[in-house]
Amino acid sequence: MAQFIDMPKLSDTMTVGTLVKWLKKEGDVINAGDMLAEVETDKATMELESFFAGTLLKIFSAAGAQVAIGDPLCAIGKPGEVVAAPAPKTAASAVATPVAPPAPVAASANVPKPASLPAVPATAPLAPEPAPTVGRVRISPLARKLAAEKKIDVTLVNGSGPGGRIVRADILAAEKNPPATKAGSGSTFTGGALSSRGPVQEERLVPVSTMRGVIAKRMLESTTQIPYVYLDIEMDAGPLLALREQLNTGLEKEGVKLSVNDFILKACADALRRVPAVNASWEATNIRRHGAAHVAFAVAMEDGLITPVIRDAHLKSIFQISTEAKSLGKKAKEKKLVPAEFTGGTFCVSNLGMMGIPKFTAIINPPNAAILAVGTTVTKPVVKNGQIVVGQTLTVTLSCDHRVFDGAVGAQFLGALKTLLESPALLLV
């Protein structure tokens, strides 16, 4: 039975210690009395003595980690013993991994592709091997290329190469056996479970990037300078999902796959045609009414978000919108959008459906007058023809600039939208 060595109390006032440096490594033979590591307390840096003999089986805290007193640092035992990371005494058992969400367009809110949603197995995983440097993944150039092509998150792949390097075989294995997420109604977002016993993250200062700075400025401007009205509406997603399935089945051979968001973008464009007052901008002494509906959609990136624009969406078919959205979404993730591609929108759609959010409010992108926040489709009991049945609902929330149009107009817009999405064949004509 392996012996766990916890962070000891090394001073009377100590609450946490920083593991400065390991003096032994996994696999080393330890004698009683050997020094295992250097630990920094609030008072001084001390050496951690082992009272046990054996082989150092597993290290749970990487160098530099801050560990609370009593939390396990490492395990010593017989060589070859398998050690499961013990439940930490302090942190919560599952912490959502910060997974970069794929472009809302690429992944349908209803049927997430397994590869784009790397989830961690439900069983408590073994503590990962310590990375040689914090925050850097060891991976061969080929494996990195393959992972990018297959949209596999390398931070969650175990490397079988020397020093824990991820190689091609590991990527192919991750592709073959991704943890299954259930296809079906509603997105089942299983956040990853982080089992590291260490701190929530490396404590450090991250300089504000240009993109982050711009987002911060614009969001602040938008929320402080626009008088907001929020309207939400719940709609029956059944017909939309059915039409989508029907179309996708028929177009499968041509490699076409329409997403729910493609329909929503089209529906917004059509709704803007019906309630054009929403397709406008406040210009102090004028309200500019836009002739075209250039519908933008939000795409999350590694450290921010961007809104590529589908120009003249009111003139395009769902298929055209879908193709363009996919291509723009890909470019957005690769940071290859040119300004012409992410400026000039007149309306915006933000979709957190694939993240499992049922409903939310979004911040308007000036100089737009509105933004639509789209939630996930939820399977729940609904009333149909006086009966309680299982239905699928979709909630959307419109944020409105009350200077440009009033609540009633917003309500009209949402009404039009609901009509279109509940009779989605209207989008095909």
Partner 1 sequence: MPQITYREAIRHALAEELTRDPNVVVMGEEVAQFNGAYKVTDGLLATFGPTRIVDTPISEAGFIGLGVGASMLGIRPVMELMFWSFYSVAFDQILNNAANVRYMSGGQINCPIVIRGPANGGTNVGATHSHTPENVLANHPGVKVVVPATAYDAKGLLKSAIRDNDPVFFLENTILYGDKGEVPEAEYVIPLGKADVKRVGADLTIVTYGRCVIHSLKAAEVLEKDHGISVEVVDLRTIRPLDFDTVLASVKKTNRVLIVEEQKPFASVGTQLAYMIQREAFDHLDGPIHRLATIDAPAIYSPPVETEQLPNPARVIKAVLAAMA
Binding site for partner 1 (CB under 8 A): 140-145, 161-162, 165, 167-168
Residue 146 vs 306, nearer CB to partner 1: 146
Residues paired with residue 75 on neighbouring β-strands, in sequence order: 4, 58
User: Which is nearest to 8 in space by CA: 55, 69, 81?
Assistant: 69
Q: Return the biggest CA–CA distance within the chain.
A: 82
State in angstroms the smallest separation of the CB of 183 from partner 1. 32
Pick the closer one to partner 1 by CB: 165 or 288: 165
List the alpha helices (DSSP H) in 226-277.
Answer: 238-251, 260-274
Cβ at position 144, least distance to partner 1 in Å = 8
Nearer to partner 1, 71 or 170 (CB): 170
Q: Which residue's structure tokens are 């639509």?
A: 372
Assess contact for 269 and 313: CB atoms under 8 A.
yes
The residues near 184 (Cβ < 8 Å, ≥ 6 apart) are 110, 111
Please, what is the minimum distance in Å from the beta carbon of residue 174 to partner 1?
15
Which residues are designated catalytic? 402
Contacts of residue 422, defined as CB under 8 A and 6 or more positions apart, other chains included, come to 235, 236, 239, 240
d(CA 397, CA 379) in angstroms, rounded, equals 18
The smaller minimum CB distance to partner 1, of residues 143 and 372, is found at 143
First to last CA, the chain: 70
Least Å distance, CB 167 to partner 1, is 5
User: How far apart are alpha carbons 42 and 7 in whole angstroms?
Assistant: 14
CB of residue 48 vs partner 1: minimum separation in angstroms?
Answer: 33
Residues 368 and 348 sit within 8 Å (Cβ to Cβ)? yes
State the Cα–Cα distance between residues 332 and 335, nearest whole angstrom: 5
State in angstroms the smallest separation of the CB of 177 from partner 1.
20
Question: Which of 161/186 has CB closer to partner 1?
Answer: 161
Considering beta carbons, is residue 140 or 248 the nearer one to partner 1?
140
Q: Specify whether the CB–CB gap between 278 and 410 falls below 8 A.
A: yes
